Amino acid sequence: MLITRCKDRELIDILKKKRCLVLKCFGCREVYFPEEEIDHILKEAVVSVANKGRFDYLCREEFTERYLKYLERVLKEVDSVVVFSCGVGVQVVSKLIPEIPVIPGCDTYYINGFQGITAQDVDCQQCGECWLNITGGICPITSCSKGLLNGPCGGAKNGKCEVNPEMDCGWGLIYKRLKALGEAEMLKKSAVNIRDYRIIIEGRKKE
Amino acid sequence: MNLEEKLKNGKFVITSEIGPPKGTNIMPHIEEAEHIKDKVDAFNVTDLQSSVMRLGSLATSHLLVEKGMEPVFQITCRDRNRLALQSDLLSASVLGIRNILILTGDHTVLGDHPQAKPVFDLDSISLLKVASDLMEGKDMVGNDLDGIPAFFLGAVVSPGYEPQELQLLKMERKIEAGARFFQTQAVYDLDAFEKFMKQASNFGVPVLGGIVLLKSAAMAKFMNENVAGVNVPERYINMMASADKKDRPKVSVQIASELIKGMKGLCSGIHIMPLGWERYVPDVLEASGF
């Protein structure tokens, strides 16, 4: 986990409405994690949390695969999984259980010179406004070569990106995942998304 | 009547396209447009098409206004951040430009300056929303404007894109964000286009079907392999392949007019992208009955 901040009230609403499994990752604990805030949120939402647990280094796929195997029975009972970790952790979990909506509990903030412990094929740019809750757990910033937030451009051919024919169109993947989750309509209802670059610039100033 | 009024009145409209040159030699392009201006309702001006550095679409659109023609100013999100995009929209307004076609834009690496920084601060949907807000007298952070622009906002849609439902979903979002007309990627398959229009016409926003003049069989094959949403049927490729080089324009005109005639009952107009073959546009229009 890098520097993260809990997503606000919207998260509590989700936690209250749905039966959730909560995964907390405090792996890179030398950095910063909002442990107290998380516990506070979970306390408020206690009714619907089926299970919660601390599973560090969610970014390591082989660890996470083992955690999820261990949680197999719980996973059958919940309708979503809330992950308190950096964007990499959320994406690794959602990659491993594409059939269950995976919701980020945190926004991951930019931190100079630190990108997490292990290199992964999913990436988090630490934009500070995690979008994974509306994109089926696939990051639109790092999986789309234009970093588009409101759906695909018209440039993909046979599901491949116009920039690199070896690379899947990120929005093609997002759409496929949302459709499998029965949430494709969410794209239509989504607000017009625009990034706030202050978060990165101010983060850099602090260092 | 301007483009918006013509579409409103149900006229089948024809738009064509000017691709500004690399350099300042714009007059031949303006003259070519003037040559067919009586048959064409408006001219799109492309914005650094294919991510190649060229003369700008804003200046070229303005030259068209000066010569009494109606431009469709194309603006992409590739090269400008949100300040520059909003500012250029205001500039367009004071230069007498009303029709704006808003696109995300090709990636910089596809063009002749692949080292450039790709901007994409906004995208087609967010820029449509921002342009709509400008028309309400507000910039995108809510500040009041001193003088409010009036635009006719358009966007693009790709009927041959797979999966089609994703394209329709984005089309619907573009309409919600302010798009009032659409121009499409090149269409070569009328059956597929009809299927697409069955869905798209439910939105009630005019669609102009895209026509790209085929120059050769090789071009058709290249597009089939590389250009998103374009599928030239075997039949047209064979027609181009079996024509002598000097007859190719004639065959190309024949194919385009066949497509245009087929589109007449399906959509609100056509958008011709001649890609350097502007001189054949009058033949295409005549062969199509205009």
% pLDDT > 70, chain B: 100
Q: List pLDDT tens digits, range B209-246.
A: 999 999 999 999 999 999 999 999 999 999 999 999 99
Higher pLDDT, A44 or A90: A90
State the number of CA atoms in the 13 A half-sphere of A113 facing the CB.
1
CATH number at residue B200: 3.20.20.220
Residue A30 CB neighbour total at 10 angstroms: 8
Q: List pLDDT tens digits, range A63-109.
A: 999 999 999 999 999 989 999 998 999 999 999 999 999 999 999 88
Is the per-residue pLDDT at B290 higher than 60?
Answer: yes
% pLDDT > 90, chain B: 98
Q: B226, A157: Cβ pair inside 8 Å?
A: yes
CB-CB: which of A148, A154, A192 is closest to B158?
A: A154
Q: A192, B229: Cβ pair inside 8 Å?
A: no
> Per this entry, what is the length of chain B?
290
Is the per-residue pLDDT at B51 higher than 60?
Answer: yes
Domains in chain A, please, with CATH? 4-133+193-206 (3.40.50)
Domain count, chain B: 1
Give yes or no for a contact between B24 and B279, defined as CB atoms under 8 angstroms apart: no
pLDDT for residue B116:
98
Cα nearest neighbour of B120 on chain A: A146
For B8, B55, B103, B245, the CA distances from B215, given in Å and listed in that order, are 34, 25, 26, 10
Residues 6+ apart with CB under 8 A from A86: A1, A2, A4, A25, A28, A59, A106, A108, A116, A124, A126
User: Tell me, what's the ipTM?
Assistant: 0.94
pLDDT for residue A34:
83
How confident is the prediction for chain B on average, in pLDDT? 97
Does B262 contact A at CB distance below 8 Å?
A: no
Q: Provide the residue range defining the domain that includes B272.
A: 3-287
pLDDT for residue A46:
62
pLDDT for residue A207:
42
Residue B175 distance to chain A (closest CA, Å): 11
CA–CA dist A104, A86 (Å, integer) = 8
Q: A146, B120: Cβ pair inside 8 Å?
A: yes
Q: Kindly state the average pLDDT of the residues B246-267.
A: 97
The answer to which of A1-10, A77-86, B198-207, B280-289 has the lowest mean pLDDT is A1-10
Higher pLDDT, A189 or B115: B115
> What three-state secondary structure class fits B186?
strand
Give yes or no for a contact between A83 and A102, defined as CB atoms under 8 angstroms apart: yes
Q: Kindly state the average pLDDT of the residues A12-22.
A: 80
Cα nearest neighbour of A151 on chain B: B170
Range 18-77 of B in CB contact (< 8 A) with A: none
Q: Which helix (H) or strand (E) holds B270?
A: strand B269-273
Chain A residues within 8 angstroms (CB to CB) of chain B = 145-159, 162-163, 171-172, 175, 184, 187-188, 192-195, 197
Q: List pLDDT tens digits, range B133-173.
A: 999 999 999 999 999 999 999 999 999 999 999 999 999 99
